[in-house]
Amino acid sequence: MDRRTVVGGIQSPPTAFLLAVVVALVSWAALADTGTTATMLSITLFCIVLWILTPIPPAYTGLIGIGLIAVAFSTEMALTGFQEPATWLVGFGLLMGEATRRSGLANWAGRRITDRSISPAVGSNPLQAYRRLLLALSLGAHALALLVPSSLVRVLVLAPILKETGELFESRQARVGIYLGPLFVTFYGSSGILTADLPNIILTGFGQSIAGQQISWTEWFTHMYPVMGIARVLVVIAVVYYLFRPEPESSFELPATDGLAASGTEKRMFGFLLVGAFIWATDFAHGFHPVIGAVVVVVLAFLPQIGAADFQNVGGETDFSILFFIAAVFAIGDGLVHTGFSDNAATYLLELIPTDAPLAVILAFIFFITIILTFLMEGLAVASVLTPILIPYAEAAGLPITPVLMSEAMALSTYFFPYQSAVLIVILAEGIVDTKELIYTTVACSLATIVFLLPLQFAVFALLY
């Protein structure tokens, strides 16, 4: 598929650029009296249009955005994205993935999982083998959410294994499905577990510091997991299976049963990942950002004589230009906060909520207001900007804080385009799936969540509160 092929049928780069410029100028003219706010918003919309239409690689659009912010504001604001721990978590995570591949661990893990999931009889049927593997890998990826408290870290760990496993299929459709299914499951299912994603932790932290409302892990699990956890996982698996399946005439290659014992290098790499997992899983005790665990794994993996890969050969198949994409996303979010646009937009949108409406209606407004803001800022930025405004609003309106924060958390795992979440940016970085495929899979999963699962979750809230 041509990389210029995009959603909406716009395939001409000049047309896409022209549309981006027009949108930016219109937004600037509409807010020209607000000065810096209009400039920042026009840069934001210019980049968003290019990220959606992809006439050029997303990372290159990010580079353009960083340059525009530097010229219009300051180099400090333009480069603020490179100061974010999440940006470097992605960078070190890419190094983790490369070490996992070079050590042979990714290939070994894929063959081991396949051997345990698929019998020789099933292996003769590519579609049946695909179903078995998709389900087994997806449930395993979801279970990992109980151990690793960051969707971004889980995606970085799983991506190289899924990439190698997908190579067993001749069909590209199957390779994309095996790659996207487990990653989307571990991402979308994270809203059902308090410790499974950083926005959940940020929201509950604000709830305790601002409102004195402490939400326990068990309370979050019992309220959210049945619908937004396991039910959402099954919906995502169904969506991916519907969109991506191997062609009937394609083939599937079962890995050889001999040589499945891990080598010393593979065992060492697995041990390094366990060290990282221990650091991530015990963050409640030491308070380290997940990037610390990634740094430790990378240092160990490339350590001379002991490590599992050679640091001098870094950069083979890994596209580090994706760091410009995520740095631009964070810089834009910081710029919108700096100019006051984020606070003003959040306050204005909250004023639209009918406070005398039933609780389910109010929670639906909060859900969609959060989604609206994610079209302009990355999810973590939305959580940091909206929540301090939302909690006092809920208290003044006499709303229960717990379902309000849970509704916001659901929206922060319901995205439509890659630029809205660092997790989606990393999924795109491996090069297995192109931008168009990622967008329509994300849209399908999010729409399925809104149409089928959101009413069920709000019904649960209505019964509990």
Residue 169: beta bridge partners? Answer: 252
Q: What is the pLDDT of residue 9?
A: 40
* Ordered per-residue pLDDT tens for the chain, 465 residues: 333 333 334 446 777 767 777 777 777 766 665 668 888 888 988 888 888 887 888 888 889 999 999 999 999 999 988 987 777 877 887 788 788 878 888 778 777 777 777 766 666 788 888 999 999 999 989 988 877 767 887 888 888 889 888 888 999 999 999 999 999 999 999 999 887 887 888 888 788 878 888 888 889 999 999 999 999 999 999 999 999 999 888 888 776 655 567 788 888 988 988 888 788 777 777 877 778 888 998 999 999 888 888 887 776 666 778 788 878 888 887 888 788 887 888 888 888 888 889 999 999 999 999 999 999 888 878 888 888 889 988 888 889 999 999 999 999 999 999 989 888 988 988 789 988 899 999 999 999 999 999 999 999 999 998
Q: What is the pLDDT of residue 96?
A: 82
Query: Under 8 Å CB-to-CB from 186, ≥6 apart: which residues?
Result: 141, 142, 144, 145, 151, 154, 155, 158
Spatial contact of 178 and 133, defined as CB atoms under 8 Å apart: yes
Neighbour count for residue 143 (Cβ, 10 Å): 12
Distance CA 124, CA 126 (A): 6
Query: Under 8 Å CB-to-CB from 7, ≥6 apart: which residues?
Result: 52, 53, 436, 439, 440
CA atoms within 13 A on the CB side of 38: 11
Burial code (b: 16+ CB inside 10 Å, e: under 16) for 377-393 equals bbbbbbbbbbbeebbeb
Q: What is the pLDDT of residue 320?
A: 79
- Of residues 235, 244, 251, the one with CA closest to residue 433: 244
Distance CA 223, CA 227 (A): 8
Q: What is the pLDDT of residue 4?
A: 35
- Of residues 228, 110, 215, the one with CA closest to residue 169: 110
Tokens 């956890």: give the residue: 229
Residue 252: beta bridge partners? Answer: 169
Secondary structure tally for the chain: helices H, strands E: 24, 0
Q: What is the pLDDT of residue 2?
A: 36
- Of residues 414, 402, 397, the one with CA closest to residue 351: 397
Q: What is the pLDDT of residue 33?
A: 58
Query: Under 8 Å CB-to-CB from 38, ≥6 apart: which residues?
Result: 27, 28, 29, 30, 31, 32
Q: What is the pLDDT of residue 5?
A: 35
Residue 4: beta bridge partners? Answer: none
Residue 169 in 3-state DSSP?
strand
> In a 10 Å sphere around its CB, with 0-12 CB exposed, 13-18 middle and 19+ buried, how is residue 116 labelled?
exposed
Query: Under 8 Å CB-to-CB from 41, ≥6 apart: which residues?
Result: 27, 28, 31, 336, 341
- Of residues 326, 334, 321, 382, the one with CA closest to residue 78: 334
